[in-house]
Each structure stands twice: as structure tokens, then as C-alpha cells.
Amino acid sequence: MPYQSSGQSGHQSTPFGQQLRIFWRRVSEGLEIQDLWGQFKADARAGYTLYSKEVDWEIVPGESNWKRYWRIAKALFWAMVMKLSPTRRVLLIVSLAFVLFGMLGTEVDISDRTVINLGGGEAIVGALGLFLLLALELADRVTMKRDLEIAKEIQHWLVPETPPVIPGVDIAFASRAANTVAGDYYDAFLRTPKAGDGPAIPSAPDGRRLMVVVADVAGKSVPAALLMATLQASLRTLALEPTSLLELVAGLNSYACEHSQSGRRFTTAFLAELDLVTSTLTYVNAGHNQPVLMRAGGGLDRLGEGGLPLGIMRDARYQSAVVTLGAGERLVIFTDGVVEAEDTGANEFGEPRLLTELQLGRNSSAADALQRLMASIEVFAGHAPQHDDITCLILDRR
């Protein structure tokens, strides 16, 4: 056996500094300090916004500042505690009591003959209780996240992954959910001709009309995503029938009213059909942000003809309008999450910035113009939390 001194090991150990750097990279996922701090501030702001909704901020006449601060702190504490299950509330309060008494070294009289001296050991027990509570909450979060990831995957099946390839048309779309799942919906597909439209054209075997839709269900996350799935199924079913666009919208509104909780879960939508032969665009705007039609000569038209959002009134009347989408012209459809995106100072992206970005990308392809717009929104928002789903669809007529 070769000689080995007692001060050496069979393998070379990693220096402590390198181990520390590896540990830090694993914990921080390689993010810089300023990025971590920005995310922390965004998370703290979002959490404070959630809990502060349950606090009575009204100033009580004659109330001193310290009493007001104590009242607000107590309200914030209970707002957080009441988000837990009863069992975990008890665990939290008991653990906090152990930590507090353990740090103070307090003696608690149980009876005339029994006195418990709470020293530093009880603080450790309390800390373990808090760690157990954290583990339970993380387990719930991981389970919920796994379910949401499955829901996200299913939702991706409901929207096109890539734009349809149609001669004379260039389409690009992008969507960014505020949470794991979204309430925004976008689609583009060919419809069967209705009576009087004539035969389908060879370049579009399924029909001569291209349908595009962008919709936004009120709210976000799981409830909005479920209604979005209902909307998608209803639209695809109705689109199989050779009906007019107005008839399709009326049927869609009827479906939406059955699931809108008396109008509280309404849906704004912009639906349009492009005749691939005549280049005429028939559209209905159901309470949606007015899309931008960028004319070849440099002008801008806004498309606002339509009616109420879907799901508010079963017998609502809708109007359609017809415009021409000529060669070199662009249609931009977006949800309110685009213009209402906020930066860390609560300033909105706004329509002026949107129109500026669209003008700057006017000579680019639909995909490049859309990428430029989404990147501009991301840079503008920075570390600010995203409050709403962001969706945009660009259609170019070539």
C-alpha cells in the first residue's frame, strides 16, 4: 500500500470559497444582486397590495400615531394569518410564542406549584415550528404549481402554436400570461364558405375566409382560463357552420351568457373575417380595445364597430363593419394588458407608446414587429409585477 500522510486525503478537496460560490449560484440561479433585489421589491409590493386590501386605513379622530400604526400592523398580521388553515394558524401562533418567550427567557406560571422557565431552548422549538409551517406551505405550493403547469399545457393545445401558412397573408401572435394560465385567447383559421360566397379557392382548401380572433376574459388565472376554454370550444363549434360573422357572434354571446355569472365574467373580443379573394375584412368589436389598421399610405384607422362584451346581455345587438385590407397594410389586435402594462412607478405603457412602437416596426415583418413590441413592453415594465395577460396579433396583407 502506498504511503499517505495523515494530513492528506485521497482526493483534493474543493476550496471553501469555491464551494460558497457554487452554493450561491445554486440558490440565486445565477441572478445578479440588482436582479434579486428588483424581484424582491416586486414580490414585496405585490404581497403588500394583496394584504392591504383587508386593512382599514381610515384615520380615527384623536388617535395617536403609535396607536394607528399598531392597529394597522395588527390588521396586516391577521390578514396574513387568516389566509392559513385553522391548524396552521395555531401552529404559527404557538411557534411565534415559543420564539418570543424563548428569547425573553420568560417564566410562565401554570399553577401555584408549577412554573415553566422558558429559556433559549424554547426559541429553537419555535423556530422548528415555523420551519415546519414553511415546509407545509411549500408542499401546497409545489402541488398547486404542478397542477397549474398541467393546466398550462392543456391551454396551449387550445391556441395555435404557429400561425397558419396562407398565400398573401403574414400572421404573427404572442401571449404572455400574468400567472401560469391566462384568460386571453387568440386564434386564426380558415372557415368553410357560407352560401353565396362561391367555391373555396385552391390556395385555401378549407375555405376562402380567414377568421382571426383575440379575446380577453374578465379576470385572470384559473377562473379566466376555464372560461377561455369554454369560449374556444364554442367558437370552434359555431365556426363549423356556414353562418355569417354576425350570426356567429350572436351564438357566441349566447354561450357566454350561460357561464358569465350574471354578467360578472364577461369577455371582450374582436372577431374578423378576411375574404382572401376580395381582401375585404368584416369585423365585430365586442367591447374590445380598438385594433389598429395601418394603411399603406401611413394613416391609421381604429376598428370599433360592434357592441357590448360577450356574456353581459343575452339579447344584445351587434353591428358589423367592412373595411379593405390592401397589399402592404397591417392589422394589429391587442388586449388591454398591452396598454395597461405598468412599470415600477405604476405608469402605464399606454397607447401613445404602442403606436410609436408600431410605427417604428412598420417596415418589418409581422413577426419582427411583434417581437419588437413585446420586448419594448418587457423593458418598460422592468421588475414590476404583471397585472394582466398580454396578447397581441399582427396580420399583414401582402
Q: Please state the rounded mean pLDDT for residues 166-183.
A: 87
- Give the integer Cα–Cα distance in Å for 18 and 268: 55
pLDDT value for 34: 78
User: Could you report the per-residue pLDDT of 362-383, keeping only the tens digit for each?
Assistant: 999 999 999 999 999 999 998 8
- 146 and 163 part of one domain: no
Residue 1 in this model has a pLDDT that exceeds 70: no
Q: What proportion of the chain, given as a percentage, has pLDDT over 90? A: 38
Cα dist. 398→60, 212, 249, 324, 330 in Å? 65, 17, 28, 13, 9
Examine residue 132 and state whether it is found in any structural domain, yes or no.
Answer: yes
310 versus 203: the higher-pLDDT residue is 310
60 versus 26: the higher-pLDDT residue is 26
Examine residue 375 and state whether it is found in any structural domain, yes or no.
Answer: yes
- 205 and 336 part of one domain: yes
| E strands present in the chain | 107-109, 115-117, 169-176, 184-191, 209-217, 267-275, 280-286, 292-294, 300-302, 306-307, 321-324, 329-334, 390-397
Assign residue 330 the CATH number of its domain: 3.60.40.10
Examine residue 4 and state whether it is found in any structural domain, yes or no.
Answer: no
Band (pLDDT 50/70/90 cuts) for residue 206 is very low
User: Is the CB of residue 170 less than 8 Å from the CB of residue 396?
Assistant: yes
Q: Which of 150, 174, 202 is the last residue of a domain?
A: 150
Domain that residue 24 falls in? 16-150
pLDDT value for 345: 85
- 94 and 188 part of one domain: no
Q: Kindly report the pTM of this predicted structure.
A: 0.70
388 versus 68: the higher-pLDDT residue is 388
Strand order from edge to edge, sheet including 292-294? 169-176, 390-397, 329-334, 292-294, 300-302
- 40 and 102 part of one domain: yes
- 131 and 196 part of one domain: no
Count the neighbouring beta carbons within 10 Å of the beta carbon of residue 276. 21
Examine residue 327 and state whether it is found in any structural domain, yes or no.
Answer: yes
- 118 and 235 part of one domain: no
Residue 130 in this model has a pLDDT that exceeds 70: yes
Examine residue 176 and state whether it is found in any structural domain, yes or no.
Answer: yes
pLDDT value for 198: 45
Count the neighbouring beta carbons within 10 Å of the beta carbon of residue 95. 19
- 21 and 164 part of one domain: no
Helix/strand/coil for 260? coil
Tell me the pairing of strands 306-307 and 209-217: unpaired
- Give the integer Cα–Cα distance in Å for 1 and 20: 35
**Ranked by mean pLDDT, which of 58-62, 100-104, 133-137 comes out on top?**
133-137
56 versus 236: the higher-pLDDT residue is 236
Residues in the chain: 398
Domain total in the chain: 2
Examine residue 5 and state whether it is found in any structural domain, yes or no.
Answer: no
- 128 and 206 part of one domain: no
| H-helix or E-strand spanning residue 259 | none
User: Could you report the per-residue pLDDT of 315-328, keeping only the tens digit for each?
Assistant: 899 999 999 999 99
Examine residue 1 and state whether it is found in any structural domain, yes or no.
Answer: no
77 versus 193: the higher-pLDDT residue is 77
User: Could you report the per-residue pLDDT of 221-266, keeping only the tens digit for each?
Assistant: 777 788 888 888 899 999 988 889 999 999 999 988 887 666 677 9
Q: Please state the rounded mean pLDDT for residues 83-95.
A: 88
User: Is the CB of residue 338 less than 8 Å from the CB of residue 389?
Assistant: no
User: Could you report the per-residue pLDDT of 329-338, keeping only the tens digit for each?
Assistant: 999 999 999 9
114 versus 197: the higher-pLDDT residue is 114
User: SS3 sequence, 193-241?
Assistant: CCCCCCCCCCCCCCCCEEEEEEEEECCCHHHHHHHHHHHHHHHHHHHCC
Count the neighbouring beta carbons within 10 Å of the beta carbon of residue 270. 27
Residue 86 in this model has a pLDDT that exceeds 60: yes
CA terminus-to-terminus distance, the chain: 80
- 119 and 211 part of one domain: no
| E strands present in 287-378 | 292-294, 300-302, 306-307, 321-324, 329-334
Residue 354 in this model has a pLDDT that exceeds 90: yes
Contacts of 29 (CB under 8 A, 6+ apart): none
- 200 and 58 part of one domain: no
- 144 and 164 part of one domain: no
Q: Which of 244, 273, 274, 259 has its CA nearest to residue 310?
A: 259
Examine residue 194 and state whether it is found in any structural domain, yes or no.
Answer: yes
Band (pLDDT 50/70/90 cuts) for residue 158 is confident
Q: Among 96-100, 146-150, 292-296, which is the least confidently predicted range?
A: 146-150
pLDDT value for 285: 97
287 versus 193: the higher-pLDDT residue is 287
Mean confidence (pLDDT) of the chain: 83
Q: Which of 108, 123, 150 is the last residue of a domain?
A: 150
Q: Which of 150, 185, 220 is the last residue of a domain?
A: 150
68 versus 307: the higher-pLDDT residue is 307
Q: Please state the rounded mean pLDDT for residues 32-36.
A: 79
- CA gyration radius for the chain? 29
Band (pLDDT 50/70/90 cuts) for residue 113 is low
- 168 and 72 part of one domain: no
Cα dist. 22→18, 39, 268 in Å? 6, 21, 49
